Amino acid sequence: MARKKAALDFEQSLTELQTIVERLENGELSLEESLSAFEQGISLTRDCQASLTQAEQKVQILLERDGALEAAPFETDEPL
């Protein structure tokens, strides 16, 4: 359950960050609103980066074999 919540939090933060970027790009916000939105965006960016770093660390732990990190290819369903 905690994994789903963390993934959901990440997705929600990313969606909110995209909304903030769109609002800032529109240029219709006042200076004060723009600064507030920018501050909120920075906070969301840091939260998302922390989530990604934590996920990367978990992947490294899962790939570790006998105390040594093994490189593994990343497979996707998309053709090259």
- Tell me, what's the pLDDT at 63? 77
> Taking the model in full, what pTM does it have?
0.68
Kindly indicate the confidence band of residue 45, based on its pLDDT and cuts at 50, 70 and 90: very high
Distances (CA, A) of 12 to 31, 41, 60, 78: 26, 13, 25, 26
Looking at residue 77, the DSSP 8-state letter turns out to be S
- Tell me, what's the pLDDT at 76? 62
Kindly indicate the confidence band of residue 58, based on its pLDDT and cuts at 50, 70 and 90: confident
Residue ranges of the domains in the chain? 29-59
Checking if the pLDDT of 65 tops 90, the result is no
- Tell me, what's the pLDDT at 4? 60
- Beta strands 64-65 and 68-69: pairing type? antiparallel
Let me know: does 36 contact 60? Beta carbons within 8 Å. no
How far, in Å, CA of 18 to CA of 13, rounded? 9
- Tell me, what's the pLDDT at 66? 66
